[in-house]
C-alpha cells in the first residue's frame, strides 16, 4: 500500500505510532526542519541523515516486511533494547515508534505545518491503517455582481491562493434588470465595412468568421454610450475581442482610446 518517497513526489506516507501507555500519538514529522539530524533513526543508519532519507529508510523497511523495527515495544526490556528501532526526538524523552496506528499520505508542502494530532485524527476518522489527509478546502466567497467578483478575485489573488476551493454544485440564480441601448444597425454595418475585416485598434485580422459570413469584430463606442457618448460613426470603431476587452478593462484603456483618435480619421472627440 505505501510507496517509498521519491524526490519529485507531491505526497508522502508518514508512519504514526500509538502513544505509549495511552499517551498522545507520535508521527515521524520534520518537527525541527528537513535538514535536522534524525539521530535516533532506524538501525542508526540515519544518524546524520536529513529527514527524507530517514523517512524513506523506514518506509522501505516496512515495504520489505522488516518486522524488527515495528515490534520494538514487545518483549522484555533487554529484548526491546537489542532490537533495531527508530525513534523521533531526543533520546531521553522519545518513545520507540512504529506505525502501530498506521500510515497517512500527506502533501509534502504541508509536512512542516502538520501535527501528530492531525495525523492521528485522520487515521481514527478513516478507521483504517492507511489514510489520506485531504488538503483543507477554501470556502466560497459568493459575489452578487461582476464588479464585486472582480474586486474579490483581485483581493484573494493578492493574498495568494493556497487552498483548493470547494466551489458550489448548483450556484444560485439571480434575476437582474439590465438597461440596453437601442442601437442603429447602419452605424454598426458602416463601421464594420470601414474596418475591412481588420481590428481598427491592433490592425490584426478578425480572429474568425461568423456563421453569417461576416468577420468577427465588435463595434465599440470610444466615448461609452453609458457616459453619454453618441451612437454615430464618428464615435464607433470595429475592434477584435481582445482589444475590446482591453478598451473596457485594461490598465492602458485611456491611452488606447487616445491612440484610436489618431489612428481612425473619422473619429471626433465628444
Ligand atoms: Zn485588436
Ligand atoms: Zn465597447
CA of 260 to the centre of ligand 2 (A): 13
User: CB–CB of 55/42 below 8 Å?
Assistant: no
Looking at the structure, tell me whether residues 45 and 118 fall in a common domain: yes
Q: Please tell me whether residue 99 adopts helix, strand or coil conformation.
A: coil
Looking at the structure, tell me whether residues 131 and 190 fall in a common domain: no
Q: What is the pLDDT, as a whole number, of residue 76?
A: 63
CA of 44 to the centre of ligand 1 (A): 67
Residue 173 covered by a domain: no
Please state which of the ranges 57-71, 142-156, 212-226 shows the lowest mean pLDDT.
Answer: 57-71
Partners of 221 in the beta sheet? 236
Range of the domain at 74: 11-136
Closest listed ligand to the CA of 227 = 2
What's the pTM? 0.50
Torsion of CA 229, 231, 233, 234, to 10 degrees: -20
Looking at the structure, tell me whether residues 19 and 129 fall in a common domain: yes
CA of 240 to the centre of ligand 1 (A): 4
Looking at the structure, tell me whether residues 17 and 129 fall in a common domain: yes
Closest listed ligand to the CA of 257 = 2
Tell me the per-residue pLDDT of 92-102, one tens digit each, with 9 for 90 and over: 445 455 677 88
Looking at the structure, tell me whether residues 21 and 92 fall in a common domain: yes
DSSP designation for 14: E
CA of 79 to the centre of ligand 1 (A): 80
Q: What is the mean pLDDT of the chain?
A: 82
Looking at the structure, tell me whether residues 113 and 203 fall in a common domain: no
Residue 52 covered by a domain: yes
Q: What is the pLDDT, as a whole number, of residue 127?
A: 86
Q: Can you tell me the distance from the alpha carbon of 221 to that of 213, in angstroms, rounded to the nearest whole number?
A: 23
User: CATH number for the domain including 240?
Assistant: 1.10.30
Q: What is the pLDDT, as a whole number, of residue 58?
A: 81
Closest listed ligand to the CA of 240 = 1
pLDDT band for 165, please (50, 70, 90 cuts): confident
Please state which of the ranges 67-76, 149-158, 192-201 shows the lowest mean pLDDT.
Answer: 67-76
CA of 163 to the centre of ligand 2 (A): 36
pLDDT band for 22, please (50, 70, 90 cuts): low
CA of 236 to the centre of ligand 2 (A): 9
Domain count along the chain: 2
Residue 152 covered by a domain: no
Closest listed ligand to the CA of 248 = 2
Q: What is the pLDDT, as a whole number, of residue 101?
A: 85
CA of 99 to the centre of ligand 2 (A): 63
- Laid out side by side, the sheet with 26-27 consists of 26-27, 11-17, 102-107, 130-132
Q: What is the pLDDT, as a whole number, of residue 79?
A: 53
Average of per-residue pLDDT across 86-113: 71
Portion of the chain with pLDDT greater than 90, in percent: 33
Looking at the structure, tell me whether residues 206 and 125 fall in a common domain: no
List, in sequence order, the alpha helices (H) in 93-249. 116-126, 146-159, 185-195, 241-249
Residue 174 covered by a domain: no
Amino acid at each position: 500500500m505505501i510507496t517509498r518517497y521519491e524526490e519529485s513526489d507531491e505526497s508522502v506516507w508518514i508512519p504514526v505510532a500509538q502513544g505509549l501507555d495511552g499517551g498522545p500519538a507520535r508521527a515521524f514529522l520534520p518537527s525541527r526542519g528537513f535538514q535536522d539530524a534524525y539521530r535516533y533513526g532506524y538501525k542508526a543508519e540515519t544518524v546524520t541523515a536529513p529527514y527524507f532519507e530517514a523517512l524513506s529508510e523506514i518506509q522501505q523497511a516496512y515495504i520489505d516486511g522488516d518486522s524488527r523495527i515495528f515490534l520494538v515495544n514487545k518483549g522484555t526490556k533487554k529484548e526491546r533494547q537489542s532490537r533495531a528501532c527508530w525513534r523521533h526526538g531526543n533520546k531521553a524523552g522519545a518513545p520507540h515508534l512504529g506505525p502501530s496506528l498506521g500510515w497517512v499520505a500527506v502533501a509534502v508542502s504541508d509536512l512542516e505545518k502538520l501535527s501528530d494530532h492531525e495525523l492521528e485524527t485522520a487515521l481514527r476518522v478513516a478507521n483504517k491503517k492507511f489514510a489520506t489527509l485531504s488538503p483543507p478546502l477554501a470556502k466560497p466567497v459568493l459575489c452578487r455582481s461582476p464588479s464585486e467578483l472582480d474586486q474579490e478575485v483581485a483581493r484573494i489573488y493578492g493574498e495568494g491562493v493556497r487552498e483548493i476551493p470547494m466551489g458550489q454544485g448548483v450556484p444560485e440564480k439571480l434575476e437582474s434588470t439590465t438597461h440596453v441601448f437601442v442601437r442603429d444597425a447602419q452605424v454598426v454595418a458602416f463601421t464594420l465595412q470601414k474596418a475591412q475585416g481588420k481590428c481598427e485598434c491592433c490592425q490584426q485580422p478578425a480572429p474568425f468568421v461568423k456563421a453569417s459570413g461576416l468577420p468577427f469584430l465588435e463595434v465599440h463606442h470610444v466615448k461609452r454610450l453609458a457616459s453619454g457618448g453618441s451612437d454615430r460613426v464618428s464615435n464607433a470603431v470595429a475592434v477584435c475581442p481582445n482589444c475590446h476587452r482591453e478598451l473596457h478593462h485594461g490598465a492602458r484603456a485611456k491611452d488606447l482610446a487616445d491612440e484610436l483618435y489618431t489612428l481612425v480619421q473619422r473619429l471626433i472627440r465628444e
